[in-house]
Structure 1
Amino acid sequence: MVSKEVVIKNRAGIHARPAAMIVKTANEFDSQVYLEKDSTRINSKSIMGIITLGASFNTKLRVVAEGDDEEAAVEAIVHLFESRFEEE
């Protein structure tokens, strides 16, 4: 298992477009990929799960992956957050 903390830096938070980008990226990997907010863990391959997290600007999340390509999966998802989902 690999995990890394991220902070949402795009002003709009996680809305439909960033959620779709996360799902698309997570689905490129065989590993199970999750986002954790407080004590809630959701499947990053589920757009509805991501949207229901209610993750807004400056929210801290943990990206967690378990599987053969877990390190690459975490790095790819973290890159989306660091690039602010190409919104700014």
Structure 2
Amino acid sequence: MVSQKITVKNMTGFHLRPAGILCKIAMNYKSKVQFQFNSVTANAKSVLSVLGAGVKNGDEIEVVCDGVDEEEALKAVIAGIENGLGE
């Protein structure tokens, strides 16, 4: 299991479009991909789970990946968030 904290830079947080892009990135990997925000653990492969976390601009989340390709999954998800998830 690997994890990394990151601050969300999207001006509107994880609304529908960025949530969909995050899910698309996460679904490319066999590993379990989640993130933790406050007391919520969200499945990064589920748009509803990502939206339900209520992540806004400036919030810090911890991305957690566990599985055979966890390192690659973590790098891809972190890169996507750093690049604004299409915003």
TM-score bracket, normalised by the shorter chain, equals over 0.9
Q: Deviations over 1:27-85 (max 9, x none)?
A: 10000000110221111111000001110010000000000100110110001111112
> For 1:42 and 1:84, how far apart are their aligned partners in 2?
18
Aligned pairs for 1:21-32 (under 5 A) are 21-32=21-32
Report the identity percentage. 33
Q: TM-score, normalised by structure 2?
A: 0.96
2:5 and 2:71 mapped to 1: Cα distance? 13
Q: Unmatched 5+ residue regions in structure 2?
A: none
Structure 1 CA distance for aligned equivalents of residues 7 and 65 of structure 2 = 17
Match of 1:17 in 2: 17
The 4+ residue runs of structure 1 with deviation greater than 2 A are none
TM-score (structure 1 length as normaliser): 0.95
Instruction: Measure the CA separation in 2 of the matches of 1:48 and 1:86.
Output: 18
The answer on 1:72 being equivalent to 2:65 is no
Please tell me the root mean square deviation across aligned C-alpha atoms, in Å: 0.8
